Amino acid sequence: MRTLSCVFTDLDGSLLNGAHRVSEADLSTIGMLKRRGIPVFLATGRHFLLAKDTAAAVGFDLPVCACNGGHIYDFGARKTLFSRAIARPVARETFAFLRDGGFDYVVYTPERVLFRAKEGRYLHWERLNASFAPENRFTPHFTADGFDPDAEDILKFLVRHDAPQTLARELNARLGADAGRLSVSRSGAALLDINAAGVNKGEAVRTLSARFGFRLEETMALGDSDNDAAMLRAVGIPVAPRNAEDAIRAMAVHITTDHADSPLTNAVARLFPALL
């Protein structure tokens, strides 16, 4: 009989519904799993500050895997457990490329979220920030206000682009992403994530497995996009929501319900009915 020892779940397009909230059913399932001693970790491409409202809903008892694994943050202890920044020379080149090209980008550092301007991707997060509980809202910053890429650690660049795969090829040609200088993945149909070389959610899963002592072959992961692929490969029970990309669905041992329909609860009910 298959055993469930741990769960990792992506947020956008996976655990979060169209209102960017965790359903009541999934909140109940997460609580039940934790009471049974089965940890449930959030694993997101978001900055930890952008995940705080969701982390508050599910509980601050476990660290959050943020920035695609580039930052593991413990809200309960209010401290970083792990971070890996992009090498400063590479970060400087990448920032100049995005700035000079007029791209719609966001910069994540260990302490801040910096937008290019009060437009584009900023407007999306402005709306979400207003919906968060006051104590979970983040303070936006802007790169025009004296940001120096040589003076801060950059964990991730997020770029909004209509053809992210085309941009990924250009990044490789300009910055040698495929030569091990960067990790590049898609976190949505029009979103490109740029992390330090070697950073991905799969490595974060392995890091937390070693720290907390759960078995990877008994771990379930829920994800929908390219940046979830390494996480799904790292575990024994990869699950995808019905709305996931085709390549992600092909990796899954189970296709659960759409992200709007309590996908975690439905996956647990199908694969581990005795738990519910």
Pairing of strands 182-188, 191-196: antiparallel
177 confidence band (pLDDT: 50, 70, 90): low
Q: How far is CA 31 from CA 136, 199, 202, 276, in A?
A: 20, 29, 24, 11
Q: Which residues contact 50 (CB under 8 A, 6 or more apart)?
A: 113, 125, 128, 138
Q: Where in the chain is the domain with CATH 3.40.50.1000?
A: 6-83+200-275
Q: List, by residue range, all CATH 3.30.1240.10 domains of the chain.
A: 88-196
pLDDT exceeds 80 at position 223: yes
Extract long-range pairs of 168-171: CB within 8 Å, 24+ residues apart. 168/192, 171/94, 171/97
Average pLDDT, the chain: 96
Contact of 89 with 228, CB cutoff 8 Å? no
Statement: the pTM of the whole predicted model exceeds 0.85: yes
Domain at 6-83+200-275: CATH architecture: 3-Layer(aba) Sandwich (3.40)
Tell me which CATH code domain 88-196 carries. Answer: 3.30.1240.10
Ranges 53-67, 89-103, 164-178: which has the least confidence: 164-178
Q: What is the pLDDT of residue 122?
A: 98
